[in-house]
Chains A and B, each alone.
Chain A
């Protein structure tokens, strides 16, 4: 095991390499640029290829192309680049091509503030492309070390589910320097809790008909197996077809291969004091969750009955955590409230679901504790002059 004082971008690069990634195409964008730079340095050292693309749309298409040729591929960007993935993301979902996509959130809309963290793409990660009729898997780590593990995990899931899997981070996580431990062999990976699997032999040369079963090798071109993939609704052999029944089969597979196998990733969450009868559950993901965890610890020591639910697997949304009838507070890095909408939907009827948003900077511990106190006393919560009582 080697230790470094390094950024989340560094950790993600090492995670990708551990997972067997040997192809990265990207386009410079703050705050994911350093990831592309790290890939350009590290990949050639392990025989991998880094390519700079003319835009993000091309970058992800190049990755899908490389993946269709049998390589493990990854791309990374921030919100303004992520929207250019809409086109290839859909294609990769439809062709059932495994690859990994990282989005490091900054402040929007549009170019917004480049060097500050934001969480404006919560729903975009669920619907990264048009057309519907698919599920997506998204993991949201909150430290550099966890970024490494979740990158490995994302590759694992992408291969098992035959689909692009995304990692959602933010500027603080990808740019911030932290203590990072990189395992040097399989045993260390296992010890450190990384997912391990036969990482180099998962791509089959044979062309298999589409199926909702897991562990069916994806379409790989170049072995003359008659493999076909396209942007159209496919028959089971891959031919394009304009037929409702074939479409139902295809869409059903894209949706239910994920829904029926959620146990493969639904364990990715962190709970604090959730077994201690909380009257208020604070829900968060990504970098705000680090402050939330501190604030919840502190509030408990002051006798406030709060608990923390940190989501790592954010899509498909883990409804099962919201069976408790109590108050909920969603802490997010945006002012429009995104996660809160999902919690409102998932929480039992009559639970008070509240929202606390910041943008570009994290909430502070005193701010959070003050909000917890007010909510527990049924007082309205205010922030920056806005009444945000019942979101």
Chain B
């Protein structure tokens, strides 16, 4: 079978990693495509971006796909790693992180909050497959309430970061993130436009992007691995912000845009250090 790569793919991605090792029908590729499309529409070059990932489905499938420099960090720590990397890299280099929901909202939440607090320039794409799917399918911190997973066989009943009027994006807004948005994988060009804005923000940007996992999530919750079913299931539960319906779980669009409203972490640090070096005080 021959895989033809599009112009964008051959410009930005490593052919060695295409196709990815994701399960057939996995929605992660949609998210990945949205991000690369946004980079391309912004006219960025391979050299302009350092691409970081973590572990799990999102980490494993997107690591080393970017033609330029890339890293995969330890689980949940890429937000700390990226703060160190941020001060070492020139300010014009973009750091784009494709991570999973368990990584960002579970094990890495502390570091994520501090990355938002410091307004370090990075664009975090949280690819939410509604739980821990690479370990076989356990519930995560944004898994819709009631969902059946391998670790919630009776339905997920804990309070989580997307239940009871709670929203993880509110936490990050409170922490100081300057750009926050949510899209589902099928949002297409709407999501691309949002990712472009996120990348252009000189500061901490995060986009929460639920995507369909037909293999582990859908097989437990819907009793079917047919990708059409899980794609529909997600789409029915998503609606643009302001047009939410009774059953809307994911209100999509830009949640908070305070782009370039406060100093970016590394630039601020470098400026301050330079001032101390010259004058001995701030």
Contacts and interface: CB of A to CB of B under 8 A. Distances in A.
A217 B111 CA distance: 29
Interface in B260-282: 269-270, 272-274, 276-277, 280
B282 to A, nearest CB: 9
A133 interface: no
Nearest to B273: A44
Given A61-B74, A222-B93, A227-B69, A240 B63 contact: yes
Interface string B59-79: 010011001111111100100
Contact of B69 (A55, A57, A223, A232): A223
A226 interface: yes
Given A49-B273, A69-B88, A61 B68 contact: no
Given A44-B277, A57-B77, A88-B74, A221 B69 contact: yes
A196 interface: no
A347 B81 CA distance: 43
B71 A239 contact: no
A229 B50 CA distance: 12
B46 A58 contact: no
A229 B84 CA distance: 15
Given A47-B274, A225-B69, A239-B64, A69 B110 contact: no
B85 A73 contact: no
Nearest to B275: A44
Given A222-B50, A230-B63, A66 B74 contact: no
B234 interface: no
A159 to B, nearest CB: 16
Interface in B80-130: 80-90, 93, 110-111, 114
A221 B69 CA distance: 6
Contact of A222 (B80, B81, B90): B90
Contacts of A70: 88
Interface in A37-56: 43-49, 51, 53-55
B69 A222 contact: yes
Contact of A61 (B55, B73, B273, B277): B73
A64 B68 CA distance: 19
Interface of A is mostly: mixed
**Most chain A CB atoms below 10 A, which of B16, B85, B114:** B85
Interface residues of B, number: 41
A69 B69 contact: no
B111 A229 contact: no
A239 B16 contact: yes
B interface: dominant SS: helix
Nearest to B269: A49
A63 interface: yes
Contacts, number: 142
A232 B72 contact: yes
A224 B47 contact: yes
Given A44-B273, A45-B276, A88 B88 contact: no
B74 A62 contact: no
Contacts of B93: 222
A155 interface: no
A226 B87 CA distance: 20
Interface string A84-110: 000110110001000000000000000
Contacts of B114: 53-54, 58
B70 to A, nearest CB: 5
A200 to B, nearest CB: 15
Nearest to B111: A58
B63 A87 contact: no
Contact of A69 (B16, B47, B84, B111): B84
A46 B277 contact: yes
A68 interface: yes
B237 to A, nearest CB: 33
Contacts of B270: 49
A62 B86 CA distance: 9
Nearest to B83: A62
Interface string A53-83: 1110111011111111111010000000000
B64 A23 contact: no
Contacts of B277: 44-47
Given A58-B77, A221-B50, A229 B71 contact: yes
Contact of B73 (A43, A54, A69, A91): A91
B255 to A, nearest CB: 24
Interface of B: 16-17, 46-47, 50, 55, 60, 63-64, 67-74, 77, 80-90, 93, 110-111, 114, 269-270, 272-274, 276-277, 280
6 contacts: A65-B83, A69-B88, A73-B84, A87-B74, A231-B55, A240-B63
Given A54-B114, A64-B81, 10 more contacts: A25-B84, A49-B87, A51-B269, A61-B81, A65-B80, A69-B84, A69-B88, A88-B74, A238-B64, A239-B64
